[in-house]
Amino acid sequence: MSTVDRRATLESPLRVPIIRTPRVLLRPHRMSDAARWYEIQSSPQVSQYTAWPQRSRRSSLRQLTRRTRQTSIYRVDDVLALAIEFEGELVGEISLQLRSLTASTRCLEVSWIVHPQFQGQGIAYEAMRPLFAYVRANIEALLLVAVVHPENAASVKLAHKLKLHPLPGTADRTVFVGRNGPLAALF
């Protein structure tokens, strides 16, 4: 069992950026997103591929409250949560979690969800490209990992488009990994 020094930190924290692309805005979550956040989280098309239990309005609100505070990565297990806005409306989220701090094994886990109405339109990919550029400029990570349900064809396709490669030997989920500059490979 490995021990993690909870006091160890990055040289400087990675903070939630505000990023605009031609179609999307990445921004911190807001409590005013509560109704739409619940709609996204409780959608069967979204929740069938996630590890979380079915969300009630109350549990969704608690989770959104946490997300509004997840605005920087400084230590292992810190999460950076970004709302994806399209045409002024919350349509999804990208989150990054620091899994390993040591420079030689530094690892970020990326995850995403998109409202079913907006899936298949390239919104997550459009949001991730500038986010990865921001991350690359501000933190040196050797590994980028995405854990995707193997039946989630859209997310599997997105992982491949992001130049992440499946890690063999995972049955109930597919682990995609990019090594030594996966963020750079996109540009």
Tens digits of per-residue pLDDT, 156-174? 899 888 888 887 765 555 6
What pLDDT sits at residue 179? 55
Residue 58, pLDDT > 80, answer: yes
Q: What is the mean pLDDT of residues 111-134?
A: 93
User: What's the CA gap between 185 and 179, in Å, rounded?
Assistant: 10
* Structure tokens given for 181: 């500059």
* Contact of 145 with 176, CB cutoff 8 Å: yes
* Contact of 186 with 158, CB cutoff 8 Å: no
Closest CA to 110 of 69, 153, 163: 163
Q: Which residues, at least 6 apart from 160, have a Cβ–Cβ distance to it below 8 Å?
A: 176
% pLDDT > 70, the chain: 87
Residue type for 48, please? Answer: Q
% pLDDT > 90, the chain: 48
What pLDDT sits at residue 44? 85
Mean pLDDT for all residues in the chain:
85
Q: Is the dihedral of CA 130, 75, 142, 91 positive or negative?
A: negative
What pLDDT sits at residue 102? 82
Least confident of 124-138, 142-156, 171-185: 171-185
* Contact of 168 with 66, CB cutoff 8 Å: no
Residue 29, pLDDT > 70, answer: yes
| Confidence band for 87, pLDDT divided at 50, 70 and 90 | very high
| Confidence band for 138, pLDDT divided at 50, 70 and 90 | confident
Of residues 139 and 84, more confidence is placed in 84
* Contact of 144 with 178, CB cutoff 8 Å: yes
Q: What is the mean pLDDT of residues 43-68?
A: 88
Q: What is the mean pLDDT of residues 8-36?
A: 92
> What is the CA angle 154-113-87, rounded to 5?
100
Q: Which residues, at least 6 apart from 45, have a Cβ–Cβ distance to it below 8 Å?
A: 116, 119
Residue 47, pLDDT > 70, answer: yes
Q: What is the mean pLDDT of residues 9-29?
A: 92
Q: How far apart are the first and last CA of the chain?
A: 38
